[in-house]
Amino acid sequence: MKRILLALTFIFTSQAFAESDRLEELSKTLSNGLYTHPDNIELPAVSNTSVKLREKNIELSNEEVEQNYGSTAYRAIAKRYVNTASLNVRDKPRGTVVDMLKRGQSVLVYDVSGKWERISKEFETQRWVDSSLLCSFNGCYKVVSNTTSQRPLTYTPSSITYTPKKRVSSSIGGCSCGSGSYCYGPRGGRYCYTSGGNKSYR
């Protein structure tokens, strides 16, 4: 019990000395004129502009934020065009068909996975298309029709007709010398044709 009383006496005595030291330090400060009351401290005046800025609420729409500051989460990496009559839109690569696009429609690409491209933003319902059915510039999806009709080439071999020469008959009409028949010319001359086809006058 005596030990407890001695300990309490020591504690109270220490606190009394500490309070005495603080009072002594405060007295010295006041006597030297080093203490300034808070009401006497001069603070710089707050400008009207600062007050207005502090009280103003600045609101920007999503379009203004994206236009002024951009958005890495929603920024497209490419613009593509549908280059087929109809293009299936799937909920994931090789997934279920959820929509269909027509030739010439433009899409924005936000991600690529192999041969598949995602055309939906980061936090939207996923929409994937086959990249092999897209093209990269405006007008690339137009179908070019070939109006030039090519006629099939036909080969017709030329037919060669052989006409044998006519033989001169040794007997011309009834004026054959061998038959004894003669013919008469316009001046009254008599002639016949020999076996060689020559005219012989008699």
Q: What is the dihedral of CA 162, 168, 169, 170, to 10 degrees?
A: -150
Percent of the chain whose predicted confidence (pLDDT) is above 90: 28
CB 113 within 8 A of CB 93: yes
| Domain range annotation of the chain | 72-135, 170-202
Q: What is the pLDDT of residues 143-190, one digit of tens each?
A: 877 655 455 555 555 555 556 554 444 445 667 777 767 677 777 677
Q: Please, is 29 exposed, middle or buried when counting C-beta atoms within 10 Å of its C-beta (0-12, 13-18, 19+)?
A: exposed
Q: Which residue has the higher pLDDT, 116 or 166?
A: 116
Over residues 36-76, the pLDDT tens digits come to 665 665 655 555 544 444 444 445 455 654 665 455 457 88
Question: What pLDDT, on a 0 to 100 scale, did the predictor assign at position 75?
Answer: 85
Calculate the average pLDDT of the chain. Answer: 71
What is the pairing mode between strands 97-102 and 86-90?
antiparallel
**Strands (E) located in 24-164:** 78-82, 86-90, 97-102, 106-109, 111-113, 116-118, 128-130, 134-135
CATH architecture of the domain with range 72-135: Roll (2.30)
Say how far apart CA 81 and CA 129 lie, in whole Å. Answer: 11
